[in-house]
């Protein structure tokens, strides 16, 4: 059994007080998001702001109106380009699920990202429950395209 002394309690109390002071001294983070007028074309939907790896606003994400059904990955990439967009990145798919899930079928959709350890696979996301996984290029999934407005 460990004996607790008044000196040990005071030492621990001083340590906690120092932690509280250090926490309170931390500077607040301010995000600057420039004002933007975003024009949506008919059928487009605003998904939100995508953050970069450091947590800074990187771009506004716009979901384009069309959808491709039953496409392998390479055809999905080509289709998205043909309508003036790109397949969304994995993080963008999460944002789309959070903000615009009602605009998707409850199915798997291709992302633009390849699997880093397996060159024959690309990432996809289900809009049934939001999970992500990877599929072989030849797998038939749905596709949606996005466009990005860079925040400067």
Q: What CATH code is carried by the domain that includes residue 60?
A: 3.10.100.10
Provide mean pLDDT across the span 70-98.
Answer: 98
For 92, phi then psi, to 5°, come to -70, -35
On whether residue 115 sits in a domain, the answer given is yes
Q: For residue 143, what are the contacts with CB-CB under 8 A and spacing of at least 6?
A: 67, 68, 71, 76, 79, 80, 87, 109, 110
On whether residue 116 sits in a domain, the answer given is yes
> So what's the pLDDT on residue 16?
96
On whether residue 81 sits in a domain, the answer given is yes
Provide mean pLDDT across the span 5-10.
Answer: 93
On whether residue 146 sits in a domain, the answer given is yes
Q: What's the token pair of residue 130?
A: 């939001």
On whether residue 30 sits in a domain, the answer given is no
> So what's the pLDDT on residue 65?
97
Q: How many domains does the chain have?
A: 1
Percent of the chain past pLDDT 70, that is, above it, reads: 100
Full domain range(s) for residue 55: 45-150
pLDDT band for position 29 (cuts 50, 70, 90)? confident
Q: Whole-model pTM?
A: 0.80
Provide mean pLDDT across the span 128-146.
Answer: 97
On whether residue 5 sits in a domain, the answer given is no
On whether residue 136 sits in a domain, the answer given is yes
Q: Is residue 64 predicted with pLDDT exceeding 90?
A: yes
- Strands 132-136 and 141-150 come out as unpaired
On whether residue 137 sits in a domain, the answer given is yes
């Amino acid at each position: 059994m460990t004996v607790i002394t008044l000196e040990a309690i005071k030492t621990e109390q001083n340590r906690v007080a120092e932690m509280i002071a250090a926490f309170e001294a931390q500077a607040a983070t301010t995000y600057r998001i420039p004002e933007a007028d975003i024009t949506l074309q008919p059928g487009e939907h605003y998904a939100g702001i995508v953050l970069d790896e450091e947590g800074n606003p990187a771009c506004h994400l716009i979901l384009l109106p069309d959808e491709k059904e039953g496409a392998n990955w390479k055809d999905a990439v080509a289709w998205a380009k043909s309508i003036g967009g790109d397949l969304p990145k994995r993080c963008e798919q999460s944002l789309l699920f959070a903000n615009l899930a009602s605009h998707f079928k409850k199915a798997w959709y291709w992302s633009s990202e390849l699997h880093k350890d397996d060159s024959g696979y690309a990432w996809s996301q289900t809009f049934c429950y939001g999970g992500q996984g990877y599929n072989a290029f030849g797998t038939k999934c749905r596709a949606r395209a996005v466009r990005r407005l860079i925040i400067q």
